[in-house]
Chain A
């Protein structure tokens, strides 16, 4: 079945360090890929997405490129800030719309802590 695997956490970095959070997926169709972020005490919110191979999603300095050949969607940021401390979830959605599909399949999440 469809699944998402992301790197185990927690990840602890110093401010201005480079961030990579690995995400790989298995899907039978042509998925869209997402990164969601969960700040402490809040629900998840969309960080970025990519809908086809070689697309790059970007937002708030974060980037991820949809790599079909390696089935990956790694999240990167060149210089993290303390305010980036959160849990990051990789997710995929495979379409079968017109029917009852619609939910996302999430990875287990990676907790990032950024120290001043």
Chain B
């Protein structure tokens, strides 16, 4: 049981390049999330999805795009990379919570992105 798998683990980009961070989960979770983690700043939600074909913006969506064509996959696309997007990115998933206390997230191991 792999849980949430993210690739790549590390990547260095030049300013203006584009790339996709991959995320896949094998727990049949409806909800998926992308967070970024900056030093001393906690986690900020970028985008989330409540099911295949449905995505919505989080707190910091600018410069990113997502799609959710299947339940399992939730890729995050960076267009025109900027130094401000240097961060560690975490994908997470959860079963559809019936109440707030049931919203337990399972996280991937993270993808460290550096934009130079």
Q: Point out residues on A near B: beta carbons under 8 Å.
A: 29-32, 34, 36, 41-46, 49-52, 89, 93-95, 97, 100, 102-104, 106-109
Using A45-B107, A108-B42, A109-B42 as known contacts, say yes or no to A102 and B48 having CB atoms under 8 A apart.
yes
Q: Is the CB of A95 within 8 A of B100?
A: yes
Residues on B with beta carbons closer than 8 Å to the beta carbon of A103: 33, 45, 48, 58
> CB of B56 within 8 A of chain A?
yes
Contacting B56 at CB < 8 Å: which of A36, A49, A95, A100? A100
* Neighbouring A residues of B45 by C-beta, 8 Å: 103
Determine whether B13 belongs to the interface, using a CB cutoff of 8 Å to chain A: no
Q: What residues on A are CB-neighbors of B100 within 8 Å?
A: 29-32, 51, 93-95, 97
Q: What chain B residues lie within 8 Å of A102 (beta carbons)?
A: 31, 33, 48, 50, 94, 96-97, 103
Q: How far is the CB of A68 from chain B (nearest CB, A)?
A: 14
Q: Which of B43, B50, B99, B110 contacts A106 (CB 8 A)?
A: B43
Number of A-B contacts (CB under 8 A): 78
Interface residues of B in 1-57 (CB under 8 A from A): 4, 31, 33, 40-43, 45, 48, 50, 54, 56
Contact for B90 among A31, A34, A43, CB less than 8 A: A43
CB of A51 to closest CB in B, whole Å: 3
Q: List 25 A-B contacts (CB under 8 A).
A: A29-B100, A30-B100, A32-B101, A36-B105, A41-B109, A43-B90, A43-B92, A44-B90, A44-B92, A44-B107, A49-B101, A50-B101, A51-B100, A93-B100, A93-B103, A95-B99, A95-B100, A95-B101, A102-B31, A103-B33, A103-B45, A104-B103, A106-B42, A108-B41, A109-B42
CB distance from B11 to the nearest CB of A (A): 16
A106 CA / B108 CA spacing, docked (Å): 16
Expressed in whole angstroms, the minimum distance between the Cβ of B1 and any Cβ of chain A is 14
Question: How far, in Å, is B5 (CB) from chain A's closest CB?
Answer: 11
Whether B108 contacts A43 by the Cβ 8 Å rule is yes
CA A51 to CA B104, docked complex, whole Å: 12
Residues of A with C-beta under 8 A to B48: 100, 102-103
